[in-house]
Structure 1
């Protein structure tokens, strides 16, 4: 069974309805003559209902005709969206009734209510986070169409002034709008064709593309006209008999993380626990954003990269990823790789007792790997966890007190144990080239 910690995205398609004007999902405009609201448009008086964790169950856009209304579209599969929620709560308290930071999701109320009660990141945050959110949204995603989250719509004094990614929600940017200043933020691009190569070749070069030795790579900085698309875009161009991978607007660290993962995609992928990462470079601020580096939008301009590699013939994604790593190591003068290192770990081990109270995973049983990744590693509170039991089935887990001692007691009930020991584990290492 393969477990990964990457959050997946769902493409939600609504049922087609008969109307004179429809978008690609079959949705009609809610106000005659307005199929979609864009930057510069005046926002009509829209009823926003189905709001949870809020003092009002419904509001109207006209309630904020003299204020700032920020709509943050999200769903439970968007890790970045969830990670930003404590910041949104904090900013709402700072600015009070000058603004309304409202989360918006298409997912149903029952699912979202349960999510806010059970998500450990939000419930264990100090203070706990219980975001005001629109649920089961239909109207807002009709007016503000999007394909990827986070998707943030800024409405000031009744007009759409910006559509951005989540990194733009900062105190400084909010203050800029409240002071009535114009903004020149990089706007979020939704419609982008990832099948088109970075380089459009001229006829002379096109003749050379027929050679079995044909190939090239392109490395560029942040591209404002391109969305920050997660993952590696891998394409087999059968027309030109070429293979291509492309990465859009990613940090150096995230680029290496994705490429290294793709060199052996069939293995279990653990979360990037701090102890599973070693950034051994002179200037770490160049590789991965932290709040201490200042505004993320400024950091992005200086440090995000776009990368493309094209090779003649059919080259598997794993091999293309290895070639791209070699190329980027040379270009960036660094050395990114997996390396085995000794690290203090939490280790699930088998005892001399038989394994008890099992339950098939498909029936709701908890696999050990799930406990390793979701219960322990993702919290970053404990040493990295590994599974040495050899057991790949499921356990019927009873609730515990949420501590390591409580989890260990429950694991021991099943004939297993959880110990602390030094182990040699795989670490993602990026160092300056020698």
Structure 2
């Protein structure tokens, strides 16, 4: 029976990928096991924090089983773990959460140990998954599948619907419980070609300049892409399903590396929720609301590369006439890296060798490179959700070597690791160029 279902699932996926080649948005989740259908007795070869080393779906029958598909790199997934632990404790004996990751145990288990800080977890963990994700295909994480006591799929949701109230409803009714169904839409789209050209809307062979704007497009991934200048297309910027704030970040980024991060943006408007949603609102729903999410492309010939950002700002004044953007110096609280008194412990011992830069959440290795390599990764990746900027105030311009073991998402942990190089993060008020968005007077 299980082999038959797996064959059907694989055949369905083949049809899905064929459909994906068409110019229509396709719901990937619709190609797996659906609500109301039974899940086969899948066996887990790698299960941790469980009474046995292997298990199967049948071992959890008699309880409401909630599968949580997640990954260590997914910030929303990691933020959801404490809430799931709380719900597991609240409904223990009636509900069983089961975390499922395609990542290997060598990645997942050490990550969870650091996350839980030695505290026991109530949730079993499946690693190296290859079976469940085939039965429940998806794109975006976290992805939750609710399975009833009888092995029948009862809901497919995202994290916002995994609540005590919804679990109570599911436990108290063996009939239909209407939860918002998570649908992962995907449309064929080539970000390396202009929007609406050659599969996106024409071949573009004679295209010299264009500026295109549309509302939210179902199935297109939310992304920003600033292509390097080339002779064929000149300068090209593409925003797909993005809020207004991203237009301003990029339009005023000339002279600033890449773009202004959130902690370098000040919203001085009466209705900030029209530029960026509050945390209480589902982001995807907010984007779909008319006037919130946009698709845009600006392409100018290479000869106009010096006018690229002024043209973008002119477009901005037309697209969002109710706002004005500017770059202004403001005093703001920052986290700055300083060099403490003492000997130079940074200077490279490998000046004739190729530079090396390796980073992970557990630390980093830099050889024969510069301080900027460290600062950029901290600001852009490991502290990207920080409310305050991270800056380099060391004044150290020479090539350097550093090997540090630390949680790069935690300032205190970083300071412990940086101590051996006489480096320290300190909080300080600094005058910085800030992107200010205000209502038009």
Partner of 1:309: 296
1:356 to 345, 354, 377: 345
2:353 maps to 1:365: no
- The CA RMSD over aligned residues, in Å, is 5.1
User: In structure 2, what is the Cα distance between the partners aligned to 1:36 and 1:197?
Assistant: 33
Higher strand share: 2
Q: Please tell me whether residue 284 in structure 1 is matched to residue 284 in structure 2.
A: no
User: Where does residue 5 of structure 1 map in the other structure?
Assistant: none
Question: Residue in 2 aligned with 1:191?
Answer: 186
Using a 3 Å threshold, how does the CA distance of structure 1 residues 252 and 313 change in structure 2: closer, same or farther?
Answer: closer
Q: Give distance in 2, aligned partners of 1:79 and 1:102.
A: 18
Distance 1:74 1:318 in 2: 44
CA contact (8 A) 1:337 1:428 kept: yes
Listed one character per residue, the Cα deviations across residues 332-370 of structure 1 (whole Å, up to 9, x for unaligned) are: 423455543222334323466441166775485367554
What corresponds to 2:6 in structure 1?
none
Which digits, 9 at most, give the CA deviation of each residue in 1:232-279, with x for residues without a partner?
49699999999672423x5554x45874697678x3779645xx3423
Displacement of 1:431 in angstroms is 2.8
| Aligned equivalent of 1:334, options 311, 323, 326 | 323
State the TM-score, normalizing by the size of structure 1: 0.66
Range that drifts further, 109-118 or 391-400: 391-400
Structure 2: how far apart are the matches of 1:213 and 1:398? 49
**Are the structure 2 counterparts of residues 413 and 67 from structure 1 closer, same or farther at C-alpha, using a change threshold of 3 Å?**
closer
Query: Given that residues 64 and 95 in structure 2 are in contact (C-alpha distance below 8 angstroms), is that contact kept between their aligned partners in structure 1?
Result: yes
Deviations 1:74-94 (A, max 9, x none): 222222222222222223233
Alignment check: 8 A CA contact 1:71 1:104 kept: yes
Quick check: 2:253–2:260 contact (8 Å CA) kept in 1? no
Partner of 1:433: 440
Please give the alpha-carbon distance, in whole angstroms, between the structure 2 residues aligned to 1:54 and 1:352: 51
**For residues 237 and 371 of structure 1, what CA distance do their matches in structure 2 show?**
29
For residues 23 and 408 of structure 1, the distance between their equivalents in structure 2, rounded to whole angstroms, comes to 48
Secondary structure at the counterpart of residue 187 of structure 1: coil
Q: 1:387 offset after TM fit, Å?
A: 0.9
Distance 1:257 1:72 in 2: 36
1:405, 1:245 → 2: CA distance?
Answer: 38
How far apart, CA to CA, are the structure 2 residues paired with 1:213 and 1:403? 46
SS of the counterpart of 2:76?
Answer: helix
Alignment match, 1:15: none
Report the secondary structure of 1:158's partner residue: coil
Distance 1:311 1:259, change over 3 A: closer
Gaps of 5+ in 1: 1-19, 25-34
Alignment equivalent of 2:393, drawn from 363, 373, 388: 388
8 Å contact kept, 1:353–1:416: no
Give the match for residue 90 of structure 1: 86
Q: Is it true that 1:343 corresponds to 2:332 in the alignment? A: yes
Partner of 2:41: 45
TM-score, length basis structure 2 = 0.66
Whether the aligned pair in 1 keeps the contact of 2:346 and 2:401 (CA below 8 Å) is no
Aligned match for 1:423, one of 425, 430, 440: 430
Question: Residue 206 and residue 194 in structure 1: after superposition, are their counterparts in 2 closer, same or farther (change >3 A)?
Answer: closer
Q: Which residue of 2 aligns with 1:8?
A: none
Find the residue that maps to 1:110 and give its secondary structure.
Answer: helix
Q: Give how far 1:49 is off.
A: 4.1
Say which SS state the counterpart of residue 84 (structure 1) adopts: helix
Distance 1:307 1:362, change over 3 A: closer
**3-state secondary structure, aligned to 1:97:** coil
1:217 maps to 213
Number of residues of Structure 1 aligned to a counterpart in Structure 2? 388
1:7 aligns to what?
A: none
**Residues 380-419 of structure 1 deviation map (CA, whole Å, 9 limit, x = unaligned):** 789643212224523344779x997886687565355655
Distance 1:351 1:323, change over 3 A: same
Change in Cα spacing, 1:91 to 1:385, as seen in structure 2 (3 Å) is same
When residues 102 and 302 of structure 1 are mapped into structure 2, their CA distance, relative to the original with a 3 A threshold, is: farther
Q: Report what 2:144 is aligned to.
A: 152
Task: Note if 1:106 corresponds to 2:113.
Answer: no
